[in-house]
Amino acid sequence: MGTVERLVLDELWQFFQRVVPKVPTCPQGGGRRRHGDREVLAAIVFVATSGCTWQQLPSAFFGPSGATAHRRFAEWPKARVWAKLRRLVLDELGDRGELDWSRCAIDSVNMRALQRGPGGPESCRPGQVRLEGSLEHRADRSALSVGISGANLHDSQALMPLVQGMPPICYRRGRRRRRPGKFHGDRGYDYDHLRRWFRARGITPRIARKGVDASQRLGRHRWTVARTMAWLAGCRRLHRCYECKASHLLAFTSIACILICYRRLAN
């Protein structure tokens, strides 16, 4: 098994073929040969997992150069390739009954930005950007919804868009689901209007109350989201924010979520 086949397994490649845009053709013919999408995808996964720069990409292993891989990486988010691919992997997990919709948990983590966060100096404090994650709670954790924001944005303000961003996922019985039964969060989400917002949508809020709930019991259900955040850190490109565009950082975050979900699917 070569490097490309090891990084992009056959089943993942089949999913990717369903969402990747068609290759543009030149009616006059001629031109340089276009590198295959599988080789470019393997190069992007290598950059995401190893944390190397595009210039350091070993083209002898993959074929395309770092400039070619980066150009394709910048084109695919415009066609929502990563969002569609993550949706396909989650649908496959839902069809197999691997997703437990009884409860979800949410947490956030700050990452260091070398200069400033994506979106300009007014979007966050210099040198910081926040990664928000809403994760499925079970022994086989899967990232249902992720997002990025400035580090100066309060957790409670990012909660509603994150929950609304959960895609409708296939379920073994009945129609697609996008709402869990219970929702767990720490004291950063302890606001009455958030609890009312959850109850209006049929979701039972399990949010820690300030000065009431003991800190020893907070991790009984939310430890899984912390571990999944550690799994996201396995994508070394997310250790620091090198990206000047928010779409690129979100693309790397989606790739990390896809790899986490696909590992569960492969096992």
What do you get for the CA distance between the two ends of the chain, in Å? 19
The whole-angstrom separation of Cα 150 and Cα 118 is 8
Helices (H) and strands (E) in the chain, counts: 10, 6
Return the higher-pLDDT residue of 151 and 15.
Answer: 15
Beta strands 204-207 and 182-185: pairing type? parallel
User: Does 74 have pLDDT greater than 50?
Assistant: yes
The whole-angstrom separation of Cα 227 and Cα 230 is 5
Confidence of residue 2 (pLDDT cuts 50, 70, 90): confident
pTM of the model: 0.84
Contacts of residue 169, Cβ cutoff 8 Å, sequence gap at least 6: 87, 90, 91, 93, 94, 99, 144, 176, 177, 178
> Residues of 105-131 as b/e, b for ≥16 C-beta within 10 angstroms?
bbbbeebebeebbbbeeebbeebbbbb
The whole-angstrom separation of Cα 248 and Cα 77 is 8
Minimum mean pLDDT range among 3-12, 136-145, 157-166, 176-185: 136-145
User: Does 167 have pLDDT greater than 70?
Assistant: yes
Beta strands 143-150 and 103-113: pairing type? unpaired
Return the higher-pLDDT residue of 209 and 138.
Answer: 209
User: Does 82 have pLDDT greater than 50?
Assistant: yes
CATH class, domain 101-242, is alpha beta
Q: Where are the domains of the chain?
A: 3-22+32-79, 101-242
The one-letter amino acid code at 150 reads G
Q: Which helix (H) or strand (E) holds 255?
A: helix 246-266
Mean pLDDT (the chain, rounded)? 81
Q: Nearest 5°: phi and psi at 228?
A: -70, -35
What is the average per-residue pLDDT within 135-151?
68
* pLDDT for the residue 129: 59
User: Does 120 have pLDDT greater than 80?
Assistant: no
